[in-house]
């Protein structure tokens, strides 16, 4: 009898230890909420899929939302990770300071806002000065079409142009990335604004179809017009270049920090590169040429 009691005690102790161990945060398993702006949704979905391939017991609930909403939910502890195209502003940082939270954004890749038009439109480019005029004038026949009224695309363009207030008559919220493309294909006077990552993946048939369905405009400042490309985004000659950031307030070494490390390390950077973006952390590709004989 005493023998069986001893065995049962050992089993219970072992079960308790395993239960305690499973409650610890782990990069290998767990479920987290991820909030992302729609304009960069394609790259973030690719990154979370890549993480799951490495760690099958990890899972993600991905939510698409305007970036300001994503930040709000992060500060309310309703999102474990958010993926947006900016760092936190001064007002948002004050919230963290009051909570005594150390914050460090994680830049992941370089992206851009791309201007697209109907393929039959005669325009091939636009200047920053003309864009400012379109945003502030209320009587233009040209419609400026964004995915939503509070998207990172709109915020990025307004910030680059130095505009704090604009005419709502010319600006349209289409209700999603695909709807921006649909609008432009029907309206020759419309200019759509989409994320570069939506049209940059050469191996994707869907991406190629989107890119071929529209005309991409060059954008000029003081000089000649510049088209968005990996080169012009990297050297920042394309005016609407931007950085994709990952944010978390979590300090434990769980899936949230494991995912951020993955996206910013070589596997995640290769995913960004495959999708046609510029990895934030350069992936060295070294070739050694020598005239000396191998014998």
- What mean pLDDT comes out for the span 163-167? 87
CB 268 within 8 A of CB 50: yes
Task: Enumerate the domain spans of the chain.
Answer: 27-109+243-279, 111-242
> What CATH architecture does domain 111-242 belong to?
3-Layer(aba) Sandwich (3.40)
- d(CA 17, CA 35) in angstroms, rounded, equals 34
Please give the angle made by the CA atoms of 274, 249 and 75, to the nearest 5 degrees. 110
Q: What percent of the chain has pLDDT over 90?
A: 71
Centre a 10 Å sphere on the Cβ of residue 52 and count the other Cβ atoms it contains. Answer: 14
For residue 4, the model assigns a pLDDT of 52
Residues 6+ apart with CB under 8 A from 32: 59, 60, 61, 80, 81, 254, 255, 256, 259
Mean pLDDT of 145-166: 91
Q: Which long-range contacts (CB under 8 A, 24 or more apart) does 186-190 make?
A: 186/118, 187/118, 187/143, 187/145, 188/117, 188/118, 188/120, 188/121, 189/121, 189/141, 189/142, 189/143, 190/117, 190/118, 190/142, 190/143, 190/144, 190/145
**Ordered DSSP codes for 117-151:** E-TT-S--EEEHHHHHHHHH-S--S-EEEESSTT-
Using CA atoms in the order 220, 224, 225, 226, what is the torsion angle rounded to 10 degrees?
-100
pLDDT at 290: 46
Mean pLDDT throughout 254-283? 92
Q: Give the number of other CB atoms < 10 A from CB of residue 162.
A: 8
Sign, CA torsion 179/35/45/271: positive
pLDDT at 62: 96
**Domains 27-109+243-279 and 111-242 in one fold:** yes
| pLDDT at residue 244 is higher than 70 | yes
Average pLDDT for 229-238: 95
Mean pLDDT of the region 57-77: 95
| pLDDT for the residue numbered 103 | 82
The fold of the 27-109+243-279 domain, in CATH, is D-Maltodextrin-Binding Protein; domain 2 (3.40.190)
Query: Average pLDDT, stretch 46-61?
Result: 96
Question: pLDDT tens digits for 132-143?
Answer: 999 988 778 899
Q: What is the pLDDT of residues 5-32, one digit of tens each?
A: 444 444 444 444 444 445 678 999 999 9
């Amino acid at each position: 009898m005493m023998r069986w009691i001893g065995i049962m005690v050992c089993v219970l102790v072992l079960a308790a230890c395993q239960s305690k161990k499973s409650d610890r945060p782990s990069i290998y398993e767990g479920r987290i909420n991820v909030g992302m702006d729609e304009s960069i949704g394609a790259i973030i979905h690719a990154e979370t899929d890549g993480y799951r391939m490495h760690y099958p017991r990890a899972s993600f609930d991905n939510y698409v939302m305007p970036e300001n909403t994503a930040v709000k939910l992060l500060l309310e502890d309703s999102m474990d990770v958010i993926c947006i195209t900016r760092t936190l502003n001064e007002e948002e940082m004050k919230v963290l300071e009051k909570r005594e939270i150390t914050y460090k954004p994680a830049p992941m890749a370089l992206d851009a806002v791309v201007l697209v038009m109907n393929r039959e439109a005669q325009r091939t480019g636009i200047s920053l000065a003309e864009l400012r005029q379109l945003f502030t004038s209320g009587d233009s026949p040209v419609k400026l079409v964004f995915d939503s009224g509070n998207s990172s695309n709109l915020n990025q363009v307004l910030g680059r142009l130095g505009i704090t207030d604009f005419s709502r008559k010319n600006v349209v919220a289409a209700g999603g990335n695909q709807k921006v493309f649909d609008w432009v294909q029907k309206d020759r006077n419309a200019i759509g604004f989409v994320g570069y990552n939506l049209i940059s993946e050469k191996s994707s048939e869907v991406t190629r179809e989107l890119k071929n369905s529209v005309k991409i405009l060059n954008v000029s400042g003081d000089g000649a017009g510049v088209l968005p490309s990996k080169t012009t985004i990297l050297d920042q000659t394309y005016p609407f270049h931007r950085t994709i950031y990952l944010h978390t307030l979590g300090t434990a070494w769980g899936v949230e920090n494991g995912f951020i490390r993955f996206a910013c390390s070589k596997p995640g950077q290769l995913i960004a590169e495959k999708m046609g973006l510029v990895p934030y952390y350069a992936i060295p590709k070294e070739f050694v040429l020598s005239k000396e004989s191998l014998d």
